[in-house]
Amino acid sequence: MGYVRFLLSIAAVSVFSACAGPNRLGSNNLGAGIDPNSASTVASHTVPGSMMSKSTPLATARTVAKITSVFPAEKLIALTFDDGPRPYVLFGSKTVHRGPGLADILDQNGVKATFFVVGWRLTPKTWGEPKHEEDIGVSCLDAAEQLIRRGHELEDHTYSHLELRSAEKKNGEQWVMHDVDRGAQAIKAVTGMQPRYVRPPDWILTDDARRDLQKQGYRVLTISSENPMPLRDVNSLDYLCAGKAVGCPKPSLPDAVLQQVEQREKKGTYTHILAFHELSTTAAIMPRLITELKARGYRFVTLTEYMKLVEPKPGEMLKQHAAVTRPIQVATLTQ
Ligand SMILES: [Zn+2]
């Protein structure tokens, strides 16, 4: 008996999601140690993408031997990096922190990213913290200008990089508002544009300050499960892999990030804001991570593009991912 090969077409369904459920972490929780499984958004649909899910009716009806071609829903990654600009990370170093530059890695892979920069760095002649960082002869300001020229986006990680809840306790909410604004002004001086997104250091911010920043037009990034999963940062935990690397996720940082992505996919989320830091150890894993995510059908976009595609417009439901109406062609083998 020979093999009979034929193609079947199925149409994947549009997928929309409900917002967050009862499993709340609260808006002020730290990112470290967050279990991405704690999110309560429930998915209830066919999984599009490069692999068939076990629950796909077609897969249970026949032996799927090989997927010849798929037309996945739009799967998006907004790659973000905090704490820079750090010239020695962006452009590489031949001495202390040997390795290729993050900006070159992104260019080589055709990826545009979003950098949550610290305002104090964007002052003339500053190249970083002399104690921990390496002077490669490029100032942070020059580095920021380079990022813009290469098509990346700069957003606000405050001016001081102080933990804002403690700072508010000490100095009052106005101080916090001013620190965010001062960071925004420093960015605007480089880009000519007012940044729209703020990621507070360690995601820590009081509810009052969050509300007031939002009133002023800022969008505050969060890991709180009170927000729908696509609008919630994925904490890569990459800072645990720097220095002595105590607590670096196992078996490796890229594997752990891919696992988080897979766990979100199981809940029906195919759009992810990945939160990293400007660290040499993080730059080193990017080629593999980007390659793997592209192989899984992901497209890389800046945060502004991401929000345009994912964030609901007034009167709309949240788009878990774009509607899929195109067929998925699957080659099957039967005996
Ligand atoms: Zn930070």
CA of 160 to the centre of ligand 1 (A): 10
pLDDT at position 158 over 70: yes
Distance in Å, CA 55 to ligand 1 centroid? 40
Whole-number Å distance, alpha carbon 266 to ligand 1 midpoint, is 29
Q: What is the mean pLDDT of residues 289-311?
A: 96
HSE of 36 in the Cβ direction (CA atoms, 13 Å)? 24
For 107-145, what is each residue's pLDDT tens digit? 999 999 999 999 999 999 899 998 889 999 999 999 999
Say how many Å lie between the CA of residue 158 and the centre of ligand 1.
Answer: 9
Whole-model pTM: value is 0.75
Q: How much distance in Å is there from the Cα of 161 to the middle of ligand 1? A: 6
Give distance in angstroms: CA of 296 to centre of ligand 1: 29
Q: How far is the CA of 14 from the centre of ligand 1 (A)?
A: 36
Residue 293 Cα, ligand 1 centroid: separation in angstroms? Answer: 24
Residue with the larger pLDDT of the pair 63 and 272: 272
pLDDT reported for residue 320? 52
Distance 201 CA to ligand 1 centre (A): 4
